[in-house]
Amino acid sequence: MVHTAFITHNDCVKHDMGEFHPESPARLGAINDRLIAGGLMPYLQHVEASPALRQHLERVHSATHVENLFAAAPKRGIVHLDPDTAMNPYTLSAALGAVGAAVLGVDLVMQGKAQNAFCGVRPPGHHAERDRPMGFCFFNTIAAAAAHAIERYGLERVAILDFDVHHGNGTENIFKNEPRVLFCSTFQHPFYPYQGADTVSDHIINIPLRAGTDGSGFREAISTRCIPAFDAFAPQLILISAGFDAHREDPLAHLRLVEADYAWVTQQMMALAQRHCGGALVSTLEGGYNTDALGRSVTEHLRVLAEI
């Protein structure tokens, strides 16, 4: 069995929302450069994903949402869906590739072909709601992965941790009435998308953090709120929306995490996966906009996943 699959799609580097947009192709280049410099590449099984199918998308999005995005895809230039979210001629194929990577990650892990997987893809997905793209996101990658695990493998308990600095509003929106999915999101509050702090639910655990919260506050939140809930839920698969924009060097937010905090939370999720689901875990990239900090943080995340 391969220990850690590193799943990508070629078009993910072609999606471009403009020269000064923070969600840029350079993000993936920075990750690859740091993995090479850190000597991790030989320890990862590199896999190219196939694009997601309509069925993967329509498990978590309305048919109208899917059709609207296909129709909006430009043949040239850039088309804005909102002030922050835009499509170029490669955006649709990149978004389909990102979802396809997450679905493939679930397949590899559930079929015993990999212990765990990381999807180095963009655009991110966790802000995309059932009927709305927003926040740099078009299709909800992690939600599609969870729905695929439930539909294809009959799982009854899938747990998602979202440690992006922004609340995973899209994932909450999609699974708010789905108790087979336990969703835990840590996020800066008040902050974009200005949702989640008041949610009351047995299977959605939102953990708002004040601006300036450092690793000790983040670790306390995970230890006291997330880990006990995951243990009680006993997931058959763990998924991670891995956003690295809570890093203290990130220009878009105001939390103060460092690489060691991302290594620590990855260790906690791996321990939970070992306790409950034979180590089955799939992580997919969300935010992170200081490219140097992103590369360092993802490298530590993968170092733990691959047990190097």
- Active-site annotation, residues: 127
Residues 6+ apart with CB under 8 A from 240: 142, 160, 161, 162, 163, 266, 269, 281, 282, 283, 284
Q: Which two tokens stand for residue 1?
A: 């069995």
Number of CB atoms found within 10 A of residue 55's CB: 12
Bridge partners (DSSP) listed for residue 187: 208
The phi and psi torsions of 257 (rounded to 5 degrees) equal -75, 160
Q: Under a CB-based contact definition with an 8 Å cutoff, are residues 122 and 98 in contact?
A: yes
What is the secondary structure of 237-262 as a DSSP string? EEEEEE--TTBTT-TT---BB-HHHH
Number of CB atoms found within 10 A of residue 262's CB: 26
> Residue 86 is which amino acid?
A
What gap in Å lies between CA 94 and CA 192, rounded to an integer? 24
